[in-house]
Amino acid sequence: MMAAGLPSSDEYLSVKGTPSVSIVDATGRLIARRGVGQGEWVPLSALPPAMPKAVIAIEDRRFYDHWGVDPIAVARALAVNLGAGRVVQGGSTITQQLAKNLFLESDRTFWRKGQEMLLAIYLEMRFSKDEILAMYLNRAYFGAGAFGIDAAARRYFAKPASDLTLSEAAILAGLLKAPSRFAPTRDFEAAEARGKVVLAAMQEVGAISAEEEARALATRPKLARALGSDEAMYFVDWVMDEIPDHIGGLNQDIRVETTLNLDLQRAAERAVAAMIDKHAFTKNVSEAGLIALENDGAVVAMVGGRSYTISQFNHATQARRQPGSAFKPFVYLTAIENGRTPRSIVLDSPLVVSGWNPSNFDDEYEGEVTFTRALSASLNTAAVRVLMDQGPRQVAAMARRLGIASDLRTNATLALGTSEVTLSELTSAYLPFANGGHVAAPHAIKRILTSSGRILYEHPAGEGSLVISPRSAAAMNEMLFETTRTGTARGARLPDRDVAGKTGTSQNFRDAWFVGYTNGIATGVWVGNDDNAAMKNVTGGSLPVEAWRDFMETASRTYEPRPLAGVSDRDPTPGFEISAESGVTMVQGESDEDANAFDEMFERLFGPGEPPSVTGAVAVQGHAPRTGPPGKH
């Protein structure tokens, strides 16, 4: 039965050239074409001996001894996989990996693993070991859009595969485990470290001598500089990295229909370039990232850096930096989900947590303030109090529910954004506020089709799962709208629609962020330097907001103005409720009338006397805006 479901091999085994990948935007306009002319089919005899030796040493040491499936490797992985109930550890041989690339989808199931083994045995019966190794090297994905060894050699080192040195061969062999993570264009230090692991494995199996290993370790390969236009190239690389996850190996010409809007992409690139050109010297800023997402997570624009030609490192998807106060919405959301409201009261005053003394940006404190005021003015001590009231683990769990995948340190400093995240995950984690509470992971690919029109992959339609209540989403909109109305992001206001968002600045001005959204599109901007150098007083409310507004003045016109829930439909019904824990007090009210009603209730319950701080606390959240100094970050 398993064998009956196997695909025909003739079509796949006859492919010799590098397939073409045509990447188009959401309207069908060509963004880029990858594959054609980028790499040639290279026979094993034309490769330097170090290349196949490196791959065998790190991927399949018993390659020339087994019959397509290695029982020893399978037994080693079986215990782990059975314990997990699914395939989590590979025991795959090179032949099995070739089978997967040639015939199978990339899903990790026991059924697919069984088919892979059958195909591996078939390949071993039909082809010699050298032919199998050659097919594998010419079809494997090496990251950065490079399918095949020759394309990888040209992409990373600007040379044909036949000219690879030992150190270069080791780096390329090391990519096969995790091509996107170890790609030299993404993280050269990680790629070089992985190459050293390969060299050690080669020396261990006797493929090279200790002297050859030492010479290779002393050689630092020179990376090729990217050529051509910068337009959407960070996005193209990201799409190319996603293709194997959806369709496995690349065996034929394909057309990739993406979510990108080329007009918005160009507007984003202009906004980032203009901001850096204007402030590079005076503010000591050299890099930035921007990503724009629709409510379902579709990426409509992505800028990974100032210049793709200079650096292919994508600051929108790859860089992990401290978000500062841009993390605070998840602190307040946790409290909102647990029954607090935008009008709940929290104390903003000096405090000490386990020897740590958090302070506000300007070392000024406002006393009792509403959640809305605390978030919009980015008051640090208030955020820490709310976090300690709710619990750091609960806040971290909430952030993960919304899409933050990076590791989060569950201590008091979490409230101030000390755990590093990527711009793409932070921006997508704001989407549930705008879309009514649904999780929305960033995605770039709508469909992948063959040249004949057969659909190989299609992004599932519909909303993501509901991760927060619509009431909580509306409450967050109300508070984050105030941030753009009277708080730290006043420069982000647009004339014809509701805008909500949050600024963030990390310690010593190393990172500046703004994530803002209207009903239809959310955009995140990060500004900083790759060497972690401090900028000159750059806060999230300055350069990030400047680039954000420059882009969004164009991008927002693509979407019909619609109010954000919780902003234009605020509940006018007055009322109040009381609770006090860890410096957080719930006191709701919309007028002095509510405050008087509260006083009357207090007197009936406890006798004559003014409730301490309560009347003033209610007045804080009344209709009149606060006049205290706003935070600056």
Per-residue b or e along 217-246, where b marks 16 or more CB atoms closer than 10 Å to that residue's CB: beeebebbebeeebebbbbbbbbbbbbbeb
C-alpha angle with apex 136: 131 to 141, nearest 5 degrees?
A: 160
In order of 334, 428, 430, 434, 441, the CA distances from 467 in angstroms are 12, 13, 12, 13, 12
Interior CA angle at 234 toward 228 and 238, to 5°? Answer: 125
Is 59 catalytic? The answer is yes
480 vs 464: CA distance, rounded Å = 22
Distance (Å, rounded) from C-alpha 435 to C-alpha 297? 10
The number of beta carbons lying within 10 Å of the beta carbon of residue 564 is 23
HEC profile of 22-65: EEECCCCCEEEEECCCCCCCCCHHHCCCHHHHHHHHHHCCCCCC
Tell me which residue of 140, 166, 133, 139 sits closest to 64, measured CA to CA: 133
The span from the first CA to the last CA of the chain, in angstroms, equals 62
Q: CA-CA distance, 492 to 485, in Å (whole number)?
A: 9
Instruction: State the burial class of residue 555 (Cβ atoms within 10 Å of its Cβ: 0-12, 13-18, 19+).
Output: buried
344 Cβ neighbours under 8 A, 6+ residues apart: 335, 370, 371, 584, 585, 586, 587, 588
Q: What length is written for the chain?
A: 633
Whole-angstrom Cα distance, residue 612 to residue 67? 81
Q: Which helix (H) or strand (E) holds 446?
A: strand 445-450
Under DSSP, the state recorded for 147 is: B
Instruction: Catalytic residue, from 92, 167, 180, 325: name it.
Output: 325
Catalytic status, residue 325: yes
Contact 221, 165 (CB under 8 A): yes
Distance CA 23, CA 58 (A): 33
**Cβ neighbours for 27, distance < 8 A, ≥ 6 positions apart:** 261, 262
User: Could you give phi then psi for residue 440, rounded to 5 degrees?
Assistant: -150, 95
Q: Could you tell me if 382 and 348 are in contact, meaning their C-beta atoms sit under 8 angstroms apart?
A: yes
Q: Which residue, chain included where needed, has tokens 């009322």?
A: 575
Local structure of residue 494 (DSSP, 8 states): B
Q: How far apart are CA 380 and CA 245, in angstroms?
A: 41
* Residue 363, phi then psi, degrees to nearest 5: 60, 25
The catalytic position among 22, 40, 59, 242 is 59
Q: Dmax of the chain from CA atoms?
A: 97
495 neighbors 502 (Cβ within 8 angstroms): no
- Nearest in space to 169 (alpha carbons), one of 139, 205, 208: 208
312's enclosing H/E stretch is none
> What tokens appear for 29 in the block?
């306009």
List the one residue out of 209, 207, 208 whose CA is nearest residue 64: 207
Give catalytic residue positions: 59, 325
